[in-house]
Amino acid sequence: MPTPEITRPLVAVVLAAGQGTRMRSAGPKVLHPVAGRPMLHWVLRAARRAGCEKILVVVGHGADDVRRAFPGDDLVWVEQRRQLGTGHALAQAQPHVAELGERGDATVLVVYGDVPLVRAATLKNLAAAAAGHWGAMAIADLADPGRLGRVIESEGGDLERIVEAADAGPAELAVTRINAGLYALPAPAIFDQLRRLDTDNAQGELYLTDALGHAVTDGERIALHPLEDPSEAFGINDRADLAKAHRELLERHMRRLMAAGVTILEPARTAIEPGVRVGAETVIHAGVSLSGDTEVGEGCLLHQGAWIRDSRLAGGVVVEPYSVLDGAEVAGGCTVGPFARLRPASVLESGSRVGNFVELKKTRLGAGSKASHLAYLGDATIGDGANIGAGVITCNYDGAEKHETEIGDGAFVGSDTMLVAPVRVGRGATTGAGSTITADVPDGALGVARARQRNIAGWKRPKKK
Ligand code: UD1
Ligand code: CA
């Protein structure tokens, strides 16, 4: 009997070759996004954080796409050409595990690629539970065990065998203790057991679960490790499952943020991706979405429908309803929206304001400057304390190239000014409303470029015949 020691290397084998037919998708199941990342990302993250020395990923369906989605060099890719079952999938990892140590002795953490809610601490605890036993597996007691494998216990409370739902009789289906699909198993012994598997079951597959049953028949003991949080056992088999796992990952993160002092008024109607940082005393209303590499400072107020991705907001920023911020940087005390759009490389300096139906792209708006209504500001640098009137447009694109607009400190750009770039409006300069500015306006000057008004007295409007 192999004696598991703490010094045995810990390797993870992630089984991710299946197609997941119930997803009704052309692509591989494990690439479907959950909480902003491919499902497999979350499993790999847990394996990395559990301190695995090596992570092997068994891929098959859409193998090239899966490999491309995870370019990290800490992963070893193993191909399972035909998906003959979970036992067959694990067996493909054998040559790679055998390279470890002198005799290929290792503790193998087996994780299915479709269980994104698994936590690193659980994997660590599972490996610890295996010490003193041949191996360990995670279990949960579920009110509705559905199609999950049922765990039949020995009198001593260890594993006796696992029965797949498809093979279970009524008495076995009534068992509510399920196989979570997470195992800590001894190598090379597990590979010897896998060689003995047959396909004599309802699905005609080589079941990994049967290998555990055979080890028990051989007199080995397999510890049952109950999950503190049974949601970790949740495997994604269809798109309804996907929606549930997505929600759970977002809510876990929102619970952490709330515990750290963030107000989230309606978490069930809010989407904050794991990885998004939010400062204390920030208040987040319903319908807010925060994603990607986003950081929100302390004491901000995010109103309904704010959609923010890959953006940085300093403290005390107010985002009014239905504003979109994508790749923006917003300094302290700014106000954005309602209905504003900040596109990539928009920078708002402290205390500046962007109002409704204003779009910014690659534009810096200086401290205390305002663009309050209906404007397009692209490829522009705007100084401090400037006022951009309603309807101002930087005509930055000539059909071939983009050109820059520069607006000096304290400038007043009149309503409906067209700024035909490249062009500069000087410091303290003014443009007359409705002007099409094609030449630079010097510092302190007024630039007017529009037809003089002509009045025709007693004008008769045409009449309908
Ligand atoms: C499996 C377990 C079941 C457990 C459940 C937990 C077996 C036989 N059954 O059932 O006891 O309750 O998980 O979620 O293990 N895979 C491969 N190659 C294959 C087959 C599967 O890589 O040839 C991968 C799949 O991509 C998937 C994982 O293994 O990520 C699990 O396979 P799946 O068919 O979903 O197993 P379940 O029927 O859910
Ligand atoms: Ca599954």
Tokens encoding 114: 């479709």
Closest CA relative to residue 138, chosen from 216, 231, 23, 51: 231
List the Cα angle 105/58/293 in 5-degree steps.
110
Note the pLDDT tens digit of each residue in 340-383: 999 999 999 999 999 999 999 999 999 999 999 999 999 999 99
pLDDT value for 189: 97
Could you give the angle at which helices 39-49 and 120-130 cross, rounded to 10 degrees? Answer: 50
pLDDT value for 104: 82
Note the pLDDT tens digit of each residue in 170-209: 999 999 999 999 999 999 999 999 999 999 999 999 999 9
- Say whether pLDDT at 260 is over 90: yes
**pLDDT band at residue 79 under the 50/70/90 scheme:** very high
Ligand 1 contacts CB of residue 291 (under 6 A)? no
Cis check for the bond before 188: say yes or no (omega within 30 of 0): yes
Ligand 1 contacts CB of residue 113 (under 6 A)? yes
- Say whether pLDDT at 433 is over 70: yes
pLDDT value for 2: 54
Ligand 1 contacts CB of residue 163 (under 6 A)? no
pLDDT value for 72: 79
pLDDT value for 67: 97
Indicate which ligand has the atom closest to the C-alpha of 172: 1
- Say whether pLDDT at 131 is over 70: yes
The pTM assigned to this predicted structure is 0.93
Indicate which ligand has the atom closest to the C-alpha of 116: 1
Distance from residue 262's CA to the centre of ligand 1 (Å)? 38
Distance from residue 11's CA to the centre of ligand 1 (Å)? 19
- Taking the C-alpha atoms of residue 298 and residue 368, their distance in angstroms, rounded to an integer, is 20
Note the pLDDT tens digit of each residue in 241-252: 999 999 999 999
pLDDT value for 1: 54
Percent of residues, the chain, with pLDDT higher than 70 = 98
Note the pLDDT tens digit of each residue in 272-319: 999 999 999 999 999 999 999 999 999 999 999 999 999 999 999 999
- Report yes or no: 263 and 148 within 8 Å, Cβ to Cβ: no
Atom 8 in ligand 1: residue holding the nearest Cα:
207
**pLDDT band at residue 454 under the 50/70/90 scheme:** very high
Query: What 3 state SS string does 310-342 have?
Result: CCEECCCCEECCCCEEECEEECCCCEECCCCEE
**pLDDT band at residue 20 under the 50/70/90 scheme:** confident
Which single residue is written with the structure tokens 């660590």? 124
pLDDT value for 3: 52
Of 61, 112, 194, which is best to mutate to test ligand 1, by the most ligand atoms within 8 angstroms of its C-beta?
112
Task: Point out the least confidently predicted range of 12-16, 98-102, 123-127, 322-326.
Answer: 98-102
Residue 373 annotated as catalytic: yes
